Amino acid sequence: MNKTRPPRISYPTTFPLPSTTLLPSSHPIVRRILNRLTRPALLTLALDWLSDINQLTTAPFLREPLDDISYDLFPPSSSLEQLRGVYNGLERQGGTKRDVIERILEGDWRHGVSLYALAMADMQFLYSHPSSQNWLAWEISPLSLSSSAMLKIERAVPSFHPSVFLRNMQLECLPDIKVHFNIDRHDKLPLLILRVWILETPYNSSFSLVHTAGNFLNNSRVFYIAFPDFSPYVFISSSKTFSKTPYSPVSKAGESRSLRKIIMDAIPKAYSKPGERYRLRNTKLSAKSLEAIIEHRGNGRMNAASAAWATYAETEGSEALKDNPLDTSFKTYPYEYDDDYDDHGGDISFNKTKSTLKVKTTNGRPRSNKIESETTLLNKKVAKVRFGRSALPDDGKGIERLYVRIEDPFPNPSTSLAGLNSRHQFNNQKTVRDINDRSANISKFQKNPNKVKERTGNETWRPEISVIFAGSHIFAGIRELVECNIIDGLRMPGWMTGEEGINEGIIRNGRFTKQAKC
């Protein structure tokens, strides 16, 4: 009697997607992920899959010792050592990326690729393309002021245990979606990167993933969360990058934001404890480089001491040998290190300004370029004072966008500059007028504060002027403009040097007052 195989049944569950869940090698998402990698990255990834510590989740298809010799295009190997030798040989040989992908999918991993292996491929692409994601910094702050005042956790770093955090994240997810987490340590930066893969399905079996391949691309989303060490911030990939990933088309951007919001709401709840509740606050700092965003929101001393203020935060290196403005003791050094001095102790700036550069004019007569060289050196020194060690073209810490809305009061048209003899006289009169107005406003405010508030709001006109700087490294570009004397480095406001640590905000009286909601 022939026994028929019982049908496979998938039932809804609240458990997450296990890392050992296999996707068929013919699945469209598998090929799309691997196609993003280069040939050297694919070979490195295959060798990582073949390591001994990953055999529980990324084991290849091996031939049993008693099996017959296969005459396939890619015959299976009999051991891991033999397979490692094959991929090491492919590194030394020439070939195309397509050949490596075909060998992986149709040969050594023909039985399927696990979710953990796909997560490793995504992380490989993220490391090889650091600017592929747009990161947004979020601050982990207490939920209520009463709890923060009681427990003194206003600026405290919440405890982070990866296993406990992921378990709490899973408890906050809805039962009709499945999430796969993969956390990895960055090889250069002091942070952990969590890859979150969301799938709109109540099932967590390989059978359900295979039979939903048609809607797989429309129902799955992926984004990343970076946790810097000992820092009250998290870096989350922006929703603007969803359309650039192989998981979501542009038409599904709205659904991507809704799925992303589910996870973002779960992050502060996963951090919270009984009596310690947290929330996420947008810091309005975004960048495509993790190096740039961790410079301002990491665990170092540069978070509140950027640009010219970096000298207060230096504790190591050649910059620490200089006189610290906070050091009250008098110290003498055999020599002072400066960029304007060469290795032999000679003054480069003096040598450059002392020498006369001969340049031919239109009539053939040589002329001196001494004044131009002195001006250039002066501008470079001004730029060095204003920017410090930041905003260098090749530092890899570029901010791509700076949006500011200026709401300074418009100059009073009744004040005529023709009657003023000098700028010094104008400044003195303005100071006296401001003092008188301030005294009058204080006395009026004591009598009727509401009326004074309405009157001052009607008297001063503040035009809204929006300024957007865009580029690969906007602050490095502003520094070059200062060095070229296109921007006056002495009168330039501080927010143009990047010392504020945000790239979106509202400016009043030359300073950031509050963060913009744009």
Give the sign of the dihedral formed by CA 393, CA 396, CA 398, CA 400.
positive
3-state secondary structure of 504: strand
d(CA 142, CA 391): 33
d(CA 165, CA 140): 14
Distances from the Cα of 266 to the Cα of 169, 263, 269, 359, 381, angstroms: 6, 5, 5, 67, 49
d(CA 82, CA 62): 10
Query: Residue 7 pLDDT more than 70?
Result: no
User: Which carries the bigger pLDDT value, residue 46 or residue 158?
Assistant: 46
Q: What is the pLDDT of residues 346-366, one digit of tens each?
A: 444 434 433 334 444 444 455
Query: Residue 150 pLDDT more than 90?
Result: no
Of 223, 201, 221, whose CA–CA distance to 211 is shortest?
A: 201
**For tokens 């947004």, what's the residue?**
136
Helix axes 28-35, 115-128, angle to 10 degrees: 20
Query: Residue 515 pLDDT more than 60?
Result: no
Instruction: Determine whether 360 is exposed, middle or buried from the number of CB atoms within 10 Å of its CB (0-12, 13-18, 19+).
Output: exposed
Average pLDDT of the residues of the chain:
75
Highest-pLDDT range among 33-37, 127-131, 438-442:
33-37
Query: HSE-up of 354 (CA within 13 Å, CB side)?
Result: 6
Contact 303, 296 (CB under 8 A): yes
Q: What is the pLDDT of residues 70-117, one digit of tens each?
A: 667 788 888 899 999 999 999 888 888 999 999 999 989 999 999 999
| Residues in a beta bridge with 491 | none
H runs (alpha helix) in 110-228: 115-128, 145-151, 162-172, 206-211, 216-219
Distances from the Cα of 141 to the Cα of 24, 186, 261, angstroms: 43, 25, 18
Amino acid identity of 491? R
Q: What integer pLDDT is reported at residue 147 of this predicted model? A: 54
Query: Residue 419 pLDDT more than 70?
Result: no
Residue 156: CB atoms within 10 A of its CB come to 13
Q: What is the pLDDT of residues 155-204, one digit of tens each?
A: 567 888 999 999 999 888 888 888 899 999 998 899 999 999 988 777 76
Number of H helices, E strands in the chain: 17, 14
Q: What integer pLDDT is reported at residue 198 of this predicted model? A: 87
3-state secondary structure of 342: coil
* % of the chain beyond a pLDDT of 70: 63
